Structure 1
Amino acid sequence: MSAPLVTGLHHVQVSCPAGSEDALRGFYVTVLGMREVPKPAPLAARGGAWFRSGSCEIHCGVEDGFVPARKAHPGIAVSDVDALAERVTAAGLPVHWDDQLPGVRRFHTQDPVGNRIELQQH
């Protein structure tokens, strides 16, 4: 059999409304501890923002008629889910614990524009 053609996940894109970039930075950088990645010039004019930590990259793209994703979501692996839950709570965002996966501690929250985000630790 030949080598696999798919070798990993590069990024997940979530939608956002125009003008929400500062609020998104507050969440992805300040709360989650990611860093902002400069968008290439041809894409920067579209608005939005990109964030990275380790191999995890989240792209927030401006969408006309934006509606937050309530079910679809990125699942982000973290090293200390309890500490992150405290940071999310301190930022005034919801923390909904879910114990449905054995061996995985995880919770769901939402980013400042209402997109569902899962944070999990194995």
Structure 2
Amino acid sequence: MTLMRIDHIQLAMPAGQEDVARAFYRDLLGLSEVAKPPHLAVRGGCWFEINEVRLHLGVDPDFVPARKAHPGFVVDNLDALCSALQAAGYETAHDQPLEGFMRQYVSDPFGNRIELMQVTGS
């Protein structure tokens, strides 16, 4: 028995903030929204994906942002994405590079930490 891959990552969000989530994850990060199954859609939240990346945002009535635990997304142009995030009012923070990656962090509109990574080739 072996784990094969991650199917999706779920982050929590407060109720009624789906449009805010769309503005960040769809409009800024470039993920496409996918329909939730009807029996799950009644719970609120949003699902997004691009290529093999699947992110689910689920409503938590006792929402507390994930400030340490986070997804790490590999991007193709870290500087351009961070510039777009900053232009939209999101603060990004550099972190020490990992071998082969440049990295920055941003918090989503709900305070969840998101790591953005670009392969450097070294």
| C-alpha distance in structure 2 between counterparts of 1:30 and 1:90, whole Å | 13
What's the CA shift string for 1:63-90, capped at 9, x where partnerless?
A: 0110111101111111111111111111
Classify the secondary structure of the residue corresponding to 1:60: strand
Between the aligned residues of both structures, percent identity stands at: 47
Tell me which stretches of 4 or more aligned residues in structure 1 moved more than 3 Å.
Answer: none
Q: Which residue of 2 aligns with 1:14?
A: 11
**Uncovered stretches (5+) of structure 1, i.e. residues with no partner:** none
Cα distance in 1 for partners of 2:7, 2:115 equals 17
Among candidates 42, 48, 53, match of residue 50 of structure 2: 53
Q: Please list every run of 5 or more consecutive structure 2 residues that lacks an aligned counterpart in the other structure.
A: none
Q: How does 1:1-122 map to 2 (within 5 A)?
A: 5-122=2-119
Measure, in 2, the Cα distance between the counterparts of 1:87 and 1:11: 25
Task: Normalising by structure 1, report the TM-score.
Answer: 0.93
TM value normalised by structure 2: 0.93
- Residues matched between the structures, number: 119
Question: 1:121: Cα distance to partner?
Answer: 1.0
> Which one has a larger percent strand, Structure 1 or Structure 2?
2
